[in-house]
C-alpha cells in the first residue's frame, strides 16, 4: 500500500450532530505527485484534511497515509507530514526567526539548510514580531514551517492565501520540486489556475461527496474553447451550425460567442467564411470544467 498509494480515503463519512458533512468519501493520492482538492465552500475539503491529520475522527470509513491508519499511527505519521492549515495561528509576540526555531525544536529538525533556503526563496521577513506582519508575510512563515523538515507528505489547506503573484510562482516551484524529489503534496484550493499549473491530479468535492478524481491533463483535453467573433456594427452574424458542436452561444450587438470542444480545422474554416473583423479563441483551462461541475452552486 505504501509503495503504490500515499493517501487512501475509503468510504469516509463524518457527522456533526444531525449534519452529514462527508458522505462516503473515497479517493486515493499517488506518491510523488501533486494532488489538488477542489470544491466550493462547505464541500467538505477542510473536514477531510482535519480527518487526515487526526484532529477529528470519522463517523465511519478508513483513512491511511503511507499505508498506515491515521488514527492508530497519529504520532508517527505527524513526523512525516508537513501541514499548513487554512486558518492557522502563529505566536504574535515571537519574531519569524524565533517561531521557526521553536517549531524546529518541536519537530526535531537539526539541519537548517532547507529552512534558510526557503527563507531566501520566499523573501520572508524573519526579524519582526509576527503580530506586526501582513497576512502574506505570515503565510510565508507558515509555509516555511510546513516545508522545513522536507516531509514525505505535504498537506496544505489554501496555501497561497495572501501571497502576491511573484510569491505564488515561487511557491508553485517549491511544490513542484518537492514532488520531483519523490514527495507527495495534497492541497486544497479555490484557485483554478493554481491547480492547473502545479497539480497532476484533482479530486472534485461537492456537498460532502466526491464527484470525480481525474488527471489534470485529461481534464484540459476535454475542456471547451471559448470563441469570440467581433463584427462591424452593420453586420448580422448567424449562429454556428450544429456540426461544429457549439454550445453556450450568445450574441451581443457586435459579437458572437460560443464554446467548442476544440478549435479544429472545421471550426476555423467556418470562421474564415464569416464577415468578422476580429477573432479570439481562449485556450482550454479548468474554469469551464469547474463551472460545469458546480453550475448550480451560488458560490464557487
Mean pLDDT of 13-30: 97
Out of 23-27, 118-122, 139-143, 250-254, least confident range: 250-254
Mean pLDDT of 245-271: 86
Nearest to 205 by CA among 17, 8, 22: 22
pTM of structure: 0.79
pLDDT tens sequence across 164-192: 888 888 889 889 999 999 999 999 987 77
The CA–CA distances, whole Å, from 130 to 86, 104, 135, 162, 290 equal: 17, 17, 10, 15, 36
- Kindly list the domain boundaries of the chain, sorted by start residue: 7-214, 224-283
pLDDT, position 1: 43
Angle 135-147/113-122 helices, nearest 10 degrees? 150
pLDDT, position 191: 75
Place of cell 467538505: 44
Class of domain 7-214: alpha beta
In contact, 184 and 154? CB cutoff 8 Å: yes
Residue 199 pLDDT > 90, yes or no?
yes
pLDDT, position 294: 61
Highest mean pLDDT among 161-165, 208-212, 262-266: 208-212
Spell out the residues 6+ positions from residue 194 whose beta carbon is closer than 8 angstroms to its own: 160, 168, 172
Amino acid at each position: 500500500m505504501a509503495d503504490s498509494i500515499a493517501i487512501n480515503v475509503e468510504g469516509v463519512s463524518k457527522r456533526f450532530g444531525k449534519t452529514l458533512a462527508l458522505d462516503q468519501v473515497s479517493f486515493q493520492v499517488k506518491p510523488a505527485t501533486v494532488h489538488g482538492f477542489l470544491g466550493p465552500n462547505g464541500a467538505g475539503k477542510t473536514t477531510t484534511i482535519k480527518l487526515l491529520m487526526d484532529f477529528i475522527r470519522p463517523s465511519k470509513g478508513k483513512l491511511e497515509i503511507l499505508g498506515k491508519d491515521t488514527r492508530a499511527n497519529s504520532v508517527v505519521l505527524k513526523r512525516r507530514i508537513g501541514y499548513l492549515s487554512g486558518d492557522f495561528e502563529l505566536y504574535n509576540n515571537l519574531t519569524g526567526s524565533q517561531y521557526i526555531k521553536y517549531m524546529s525544536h518541536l519537530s526535531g529538525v537539526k539541519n537548517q539548510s532547507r529552512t534558510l533556503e526557503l527563507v531566501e526563496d520566499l523573501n520572508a521577513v524573519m526579524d519582526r514580531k509576527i503580530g506586526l506582519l501582513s497576512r502574506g508575510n505570515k503565510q510565508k512563515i507558515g509555509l516555511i514551517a510546513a516545508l522545513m523538515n522536507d516531509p514525505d507528505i505535504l498537506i496544505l489547506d489554501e496555501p497561497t492565501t495572501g501571497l502576491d503573484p511573484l510569491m505564488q510562482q515561487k511557491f508553485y516551484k517549491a511544490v513542484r520540486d518537492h514532488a520531483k524529489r519523490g514527495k507527495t503534496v495534497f492541497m486544497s484550493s479555490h484557485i483554478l489556475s493554481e491547480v492547473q499549473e502545479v497539480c497532476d491530479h484533482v479530486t472534485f468535492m461537492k456537498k460532502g461527496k466526491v464527484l470525480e478524481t481525474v488527471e489534470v491533463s485529461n481534464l484540459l483535453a476535454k475542456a471547451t474553447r471559448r470563441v469570440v467573433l467581433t463584427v462591424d456594427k452593420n453586420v448580422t452574424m448567424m449562429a454556428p451550425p450544429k456540426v461544429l458542436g457549439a454550445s453556450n452561444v450568445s450574441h451581443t450587438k457586435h459579437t458572437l460567442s460560443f464554446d467548442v470542444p476544440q478549435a479544429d480545422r472545421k471550426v476555423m474554416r467556418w470562421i474564415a467564411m464569416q464577415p468578422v473583423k476580429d477573432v479570439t479563441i481562449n485556450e482550454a483551462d479548468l474554469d469551464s470544467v469547474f463551472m460545469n461541475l458546480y453550475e448550480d452552486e451560488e458560490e464557487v
